[in-house]
Amino acid sequence: MTSKQDGDCPELQIRAHHLLCMEGFQGYGYDKIFTENLRNIIKVLKEYPGIPVTIISETDEICKMCPNKSKCDGDENLKAKDQRLIRHLNLNMRETRCYNELRSLIYEKINFKILDEICGACQWINKCKFYLSQKEKLIEDIF
């Protein structure tokens, strides 16, 4: 666990698999409001990487602006994605870490095989720069 290092910065609650979405985000989204919200969250986290982030498996700051949020509230596939990522990062649900620690864990522990297991069926997979870069890295490692 980490303490608040950025003064009055609020703690954010982020759905586990959204940590991966933020790494691959290129500006695509369900609509303009959703995309602007996600872009702003990423901007704040990159400007203040010490912000405490609590990992959850329910509606989060990103979901709040999604036009489909009521559709996803009870989605067991999304909850399974969250659980798989939490397991691979050796975290616990509702654990709080600084954002920069979570990013480090992702780059340390998530390879293409694991990413494909977690995100393989995602509708954004062909636009996700994190997924595509991990796939490219795997191909380079093979050859």
- Asked if residues 54 and 11 have their Cβ atoms less than 8 Å apart, the reply is yes
Q: How far from 44 is each of 5, 6, 31, 56, 82, CA to CA, in Å?
A: 14, 11, 20, 19, 22
Q: How far apart are CA 64 and CA 61, in angstroms?
A: 5
Per residue in 10-22, pLDDT tens? Answer: 789 999 999 999 9
pLDDT digits (tens, 9 = 90+) for 63-120: 888 878 667 766 888 899 999 999 999 999 999 999 999 999 999 999 989 999 999 8
Q: Determine the straight-line distance between the first and last CA of the chain, rounded to whole angstroms.
A: 40
Cα–Cα distance, 35 to 46 (Å, whole number) = 16
- pTM (predicted TM-score): 0.86
